[in-house]
Amino acid sequence: MVVVALAVGPVVSYAFPNAGSGNYWMIGLFALGMAAALVTVRGTRIPAPWFGWGALGVGILAAAWMIFVTPHTRNEQIISDTLAGTAIALALVSMGRAAVDGRVNPGRRVLEWRPLVWIGLWSYSIYLIHSPVLALANILLLPLELPTFVNWLLLVLVVLPVALSLAYGFFWLVERHFITSHQKRVINERVDPDASGKVA
């Protein structure tokens, strides 16, 4: 199924080049993510370390492609996105299997760092809020015709903190009320209460 999903996007993009600006190959990347979650939970006969080495190999290939090809065309973008997505999926399986099996690997150590766990707690709110806030700010800044670097600095140093603050507010007011009791227990075990407060 994953192979079929990976094929759908490029086939649609090649067969219907004028079918709008939709990134249809993202269907395959979504399927990769779902497959990674399934393998993480259910396990596989493939030794867990192989996923880590696979992620490293595909990641190097993806980096080389992006550096030396510098994707500009739609077809080149499909290849770069698919390579990067595959590397990320393999890395997630490697770290996920390590967590399920009770093993510790470098990736898991990084992801279990308390500040990252805390950010992960409200990352969905960041995902929802940041883009419209940054887009609105960019639209408001365009008439000022600021130099690109100044515009970028304003977005990063002023607008981004505002977007993150709004995202955390959204999490606190809305999202946290939908977190299950199991999630709350895990979160409160992982996150330092002195740094962020327990999730009620």
Question: Using CB atoms within 10 A of its CB, is residue 58 exposed (0-12), middle (13-18) or buried (19+)?
Answer: buried
Instruction: From 82, 108, 134, give the residue that closes a domain.
Output: 108
**C-beta of residue 195 within 8 angstroms of C-beta of residue 118:** yes
Same domain, yes or no: 181 and 119: yes
Low-confidence ranges of the chain (pLDDT < 50): 195-197
Quick one: pLDDT at residue 195? 45
Residue-wise pLDDT for 128-138, tens only, equals 999 899 989 98
Instruction: From 62, 85, 108, give the residue that closes a domain.
Output: 108
Residue 82 CB neighbour total at 10 angstroms: 21
Quick one: pLDDT at residue 136? 92
Cα–Cα distances in angstroms (integers) from residue 89 to residues 17, 25, 48, 184, 194, in the given order: 28, 15, 13, 26, 33
Same domain, yes or no: 72 and 157: no
Residue-wise pLDDT for 72-120, tens only, equals 676 777 788 888 888 988 888 888 888 777 777 777 777 778 888 888 8
Quick one: pLDDT at residue 104? 75
Instruction: From 79, 108, 137, give the residue that closes a domain.
Output: 108
Q: What is the full DSSP assignment across 52-112?
A: HHHHHHHHHHHHHHHHHT---SHHHHHHHHHHHHHHHHHHHHHHHHHHHHT---HHHHHHT
- Number of structural domains (the chain) is 2
Quick one: pLDDT at residue 14? 66
Domain carrying residue 44: 2-108
Same domain, yes or no: 119 and 101: no
